[in-house]
Structure 1
Amino acid sequence: MQTRTLGKTGPTASALGLGAMAMSGAYGESDRAESIATVHAALDAGVTLVDTADFYGMGHNELLLAEALRGRPRDSYQLSVKFGMLAGPGLQYFGVDGRPAAVKTFLAHSLTRLGTDYIDIYRPARRDPDVPIEETVGAIKDLVDAGYVRHIGLSEVDAETIRRAHAVHPIADLQVEYSLVSRAVEPEVLPTLRELGIGMTAYGVLSRGLISGHWTAGHSAGPGDHRAASPRFTGENVDHNLALVDALRTVADAKGCTVAQLAIAWVAAQGDDIVPLVGARSRRRLSEALPAVDVHLTSDDLAAVEQAVPRGAARGDRYPAAFMSSLGVGN
């Protein structure tokens, strides 16, 4: 497994990370044994960066990872943890809490659920509009000074917020959605990261399966699968977006790789300061994703991909309207 360093101050991690959200019901029911086996397979393949959040399954994901990671040397993997999203039973969301006291309380719960003494990268999932980012990051800095957190990250914030946070404490990386069909970070956010020496962990590199090559016309999301409410998967939008995938498949076939591998490789090719996160919840999907780190895209390949899926070509927002306002960047 190749490695990449997250910014000037962040950890050196595997060139491909594992996002664990799908293992806790985000896309419908998942198999616990298969999820654990997938984590094991990822670690055995050299994946070191594992991303979770305390609100994935409202603690379920952290407990699952604690079981999966038990017995593994703690220095053989890095835990990236998001916090701050508020939800009640039935997953009714109430917003974000970035108050310093809440930050430290969230961390105490995560350390207990994960069964660890420290978190490698700790980050607010979204910016709390009622709390200055300086206060939220300042609270994490206190946790760094106390040894409970190794690095500070951000998630889904704009360039101004990045600068303000970085002035309080060096930021290791920004976690943000970045894919062939989600490129809003390119004009301002990505240049800001590179100016400040901050890395990126890119989630949604397959746009929740939309550009994986496995989602087909007429396919419908099952019970509990939040893609049923995603604008990109509904109505005429999905037909348009799947036509883009068909064009991408032509490029992938010529390259001798799958559509998913091409989409992941494209993200990785945008800079060695970017680590794509793959949200595999089965060993089958993981085994398809892993070879993407060895897919080298030439300038001709990149031009062909750009022609197949031009920037801004996708239809539909990447989140339902109610959640778009919490994002620091758009589509």
Structure 2
Amino acid sequence: MKTRILGRTGYEISEIGFGAWQIGGSWGDVSEADGKKALNAALDAGVTFVDTADVYGDGRSERIIADVLKSRGGTRPTVATKAGRRLNPHVSEGYNAGNLEAFVDRSLKNLEVDTLDLVQLHCPPTEVYYRPDVFEALDGLKIKGKIRHYGVSVEKVEEALKAIEYPGVATVQIIYNIFRQRPHDLFLQEAAKKNVGVIVRVPLASGLLTGKLSAQTVFAKEDHRNFNRNGEAFDVGETFAGVPFEAALAAVEELKPLVPQNGSMVQFALRWILEQKAVSVVIPGARNEAQAHINAGAGDIAALSAATLAKIAELYERSIKPHVHQKW
């Protein structure tokens, strides 16, 4: 497993991480046992970065991670969590020192640690990025020793660019994949200039870029690909990267012939992201051991050729960009 440095945190982490949303909830029925097996498989394959959030299964994801790491012992991976989405209503005013400390305290308990490696604001309202007091509150939690570093998880490139104006923001988590290429235009370059770690989520566009979905695929009632198809529960960009399902399926068919013979569609999609040196880590999720193994192998396939990258860029411009580029 190849490693990269997570921006100014200085953490040396695996370039393929483990996104722990799926083992928490909102992806259909994933048992705790399967979640633990998936995480163990990823760690066995050399993954040293795990990303979770306090709202994934109302803390279930954090608790599963704590149990697995406790049972394994040895060198502990870097664990990042997120805070803020427990607010109800989820409004800017809720991002204050008292609430943030309470959320951090809960994650400390769930993860069974004294200090969080990295805490990220969890896709807060855009207004939050224009409030210095929020970031001062996070600085205060660092001084108290409750967090080592902090960052943000964003929906929009605008939010990412604003966030990295704050000197304490060490990382930005952002959606970036073959179907969401806007971060490449400006943000990745600016993050690199400021030595900000970039954590890439939704790398497979909610499963679209596995090549295994079809118009006949049925999603469970509790799967966000069912209940958030049109943004009913949270930002629609989190589900299928915001691309209309039918348009995305057609684009996937055009991508399939580009997949190298020694790799899978999943690994091809992850490899495309890793071509960007400004990316610190990509965090695909996994429901089981097999998926975790496939994800971890993405770094082993050869770099994509210039011709392949050009074909992907042309497909994006023609078939995907009109649906998503201007929105996020």
TM-score by length of structure 1 reads 0.86
Q: Report how far residue 255 of structure 1 moved.
A: 4.1
The aligned counterpart of 1:290 is: 296
The aligned counterpart of 2:244 is: 237
Whether the 8 Å CA contact 2:83–2:100 is kept in 1: the answer is yes
Q: Report how far residue 273 of structure 1 moved.
A: 3.4
Whether the 8 Å CA contact 1:265–1:297 is kept in 2: the answer is yes
The aligned counterpart of 1:275 is: 281
Shifted more, 34-43 versus 222-231: the winner is: 222-231
Q: Report how far residue 31 of structure 1 moved.
A: 1.5
CA distance in 2, matches of 1:188, 1:300: 23
Identity fraction in percent: 27
Q: Are positions 1:11 and 2:11 aligned together?
A: yes
Q: Report how far residue 310 of structure 1 moved.
A: 3.8
The alignment of Structure 1 onto Structure 2 pairs a total of residues equal to: 314
Secondary structure of the equivalent of 1:24?
coil
Q: Report how far residue 305 of structure 1 moved.
A: 2.9
Q: Deviations over 1:157-186 (max 9, x none)?
A: 656655665454432210011111012322
The aligned counterpart of 2:225 is: 227
CA distance in 2, matches of 1:198, 1:114: 25
Whether the 8 Å CA contact 1:155–1:174 is kept in 2: the answer is yes
Larger % of strand: which? Answer: 1
Q: Report how far residue 190 of structure 1 moved.
A: 2.2
Secondary structure of the equivalent of 1:201?
strand
Q: Which residues in structure 2 correspond to 1:36-75 (within 5 Å)?
A: 36-73=36-73, 75=75
Q: Once superposed, what is the RMSD of the aligned Cα atoms? A: 2.6
Shifted more, 66-75 versus 19-28: the winner is: 66-75
**What stretches of structure 2 of length at least 5 have no aligned partner?**
231-238
Shifted more, 129-138 versus 33-42: the winner is: 129-138
CA distance in 2, matches of 1:188, 1:308: 20
Shifted more, 277-286 versus 236-245: the winner is: 236-245
Shifted more, 303-312 versus 93-102: the winner is: 303-312
TM-score by length of structure 2 reads 0.86
Judged with a 3 Å threshold, the aligned counterparts in structure 2 of structure 1 residues 145 and 57 are, in CA distance, closer, same or farther, namely: same
The aligned counterpart of 1:325 is: none
Secondary structure of the equivalent of 2:267?
helix
The aligned counterpart of 2:233 is: none
Q: Report how far residue 74 of structure 1 moved.
A: 7.1
Shifted more, 37-46 versus 163-172: the winner is: 163-172
CA distance in 2, matches of 1:282, 1:202: 21
CA distance in 1, matches of 2:21, 2:84: 15
Shifted more, 129-138 versus 7-16: the winner is: 129-138
Q: Which residues in structure 2 correspond to 1:1-331 (within 5 Å)?
A: 1-73=1-73, 75-86=75-86, 94-95=90-91, 97-128=94-125, 131=128, 132-156=130-154, 162=160, 165-166=163-164, 168-228=166-226, 229-231=228-230, 237-252=244-259, 254-295=260-301, 296-310=303-317, 313=320, 330-331=327-328
CA distance in 2, matches of 1:275, 1:118: 22
CA distance in 1, matches of 2:297, 2:229: 29
CA distance in 2, matches of 1:76, 1:66: 11
CA distance in 2, matches of 1:314, 1:198: 26
Whether the 8 Å CA contact 1:261–1:288 is kept in 2: the answer is yes
Whether the 8 Å CA contact 1:17–1:49 is kept in 2: the answer is yes
Whether the 8 Å CA contact 1:174–1:199 is kept in 2: the answer is yes
Paired AA for residue 54 in structure 2: D
Q: Report how far residue 196 of structure 1 moved.
A: 1.5
Whether the 8 Å CA contact 1:183–1:311 is kept in 2: the answer is no
Whether the 8 Å CA contact 2:200–2:279 is kept in 1: the answer is no
Q: Report how far residue 224 of structure 1 moved.
A: 0.4
The aligned counterpart of 2:235 is: none
CA distance in 2, matches of 1:41, 1:77: 14
Whether the 8 Å CA contact 1:6–1:13 is kept in 2: the answer is yes
